[in-house]
Structure 1
């Protein structure tokens, strides 16, 4: 008995024969009607798609008709060579460096890769831009805003090295003092990140530093340190005139007295109104003052019975550092670490245990930089100059806001940097945007030795 499937197959066979007879006149060809036509259409469509795809691929590889690079504010980079151009007055002008390209194109410049074929036929002119301007520019997100170090360089005593991204250093012990000397021979005592000028050889000996070898420091490094009160004998009003008697004996103003054991000795100077306490360091400086009598030792009861002065200013006029240990220079390099805090800087002295041997004036991580502004004292009467410091350790003055915007730093906040740091860096040419408007038609000055076109 025939199944339903057999009936379906029989029906399809009959309909195929009828269709074939109608289309070809032969009911038993064994092929579906219009099969060859369908195959031909499919093959033609495939060939057409391949042809269109090939032309599209060729257009991507060699876009000879690309004209987007002609828009104003475009930096043109030739694909095959990497050469940079600006289109100025219909002429392709090579740029001396990347900074010149941005300064010529203006703020918001677009960089476009263009094939040589697209540039074929466009006249080429002489190079334009600022010679020796930077050829790499840090992104705004890569600008450094942290602290910096100014480190002494033992190999070159007249220079310092600026580290604009320093690693944490160990602080100089507060209990140690450092004997420094400047280029002019002036001695200083470094104490708690403050330098104190020493007034003469007598004061140096009085502080126990007469036989110490000083650490030589250049003027720029010393200028980065705050300056304290000079270490010199205090002026005593009425010095040498008769004063109140002490221990039952006449005494002149300015005479020195001490009492107590060596490890707890107290020091005094006679003022017109009586004995005034002084620090150990102040006493040593007064004792070294030429022409002053030797100090007198008295008992505690005699000091207590003498008239007492109301003036205690000589206890803290200068730091009491005479008995502090002296720092030895073999423990590392001295660095001034600073951070901008508004219109001033916070300064500490740290030690760096490793020495950089690159010989560069400034250390900046690759790809980073600093958008800096000169830190002026309060009440400055001029606008501080701004600089771009690149990863080559060089600073470039910026002419104005337009130049900063053209380089991509129009919205960046300039980092205040003191002159001592800026003076430690070599200076490049001033970066100025091209004159004229719009920027794409501005005429840039050609580098020295080239002719314009």
Structure 2
């Protein structure tokens, strides 16, 4: 009686005979019929792996250049030395000082890495770029677009005076920073600050603009000689746009005859004040040889205080603005504001 094991072995023996008869035309062939197939598959796989490894090693030893890198509009990086380059329209390769300069010259942020051996074959031009420009640039997504910059400065009462003032620049309004801003003093509209930098120069801060003040006669002319100054740092001052320097203004040809304004015979360099009840304020005008030039109240004060303009008030005592009627000013010739009378 055959067991189940005997039946399985008999089935396998019969199957091998059938396969051998079909593949090698011999049912009693001593070698397994699939041996050649297995050997061929293994040999082919090994050959494929060796071929792929050979191509990989060849690619590492002899890298091919990036596609279409020899044209303008690309930031080229030296893969070996790490330098930055740009190509001009004539195909000349220019070394660039930093990444920011390279992007500006290429007018693009597209970057390609090229081996140093390939770059040595290109014609070289002069070095270009902005000295000390940043070599790393943030991504556009990392830029702060919502919060406005806030500069703060204060004189510290809890630190020795030799340490100087403390300045901080807030770029991002976090919840904690916004809460801290609520405790700061805001300069009201129409008010100003008189500050002093570490070098001793004084500045008038008004409407978000800094104006550098001249020497003591300038302070006296503006009425600031007894005003306390707030010490600030240079870094805080650089956050403010600069206006024109405020100095005493010398008017050319001061003391020579000027135009008639109503019944008044004027002299070049005099200041006229026209009270305008409709506007609710006085307008100030500088007498020029060709007509009247409108000036601000601060400019008028700087012109009156300049000793160079004393001939305009010869024999009249202290220089002062002369009152005139608005209608007389309107009838007099006028000239546009000039640079030499701007304070």
- Return the TM-score normalized by structure 1: 0.36
- Return the TM-score normalized by structure 2: 0.45
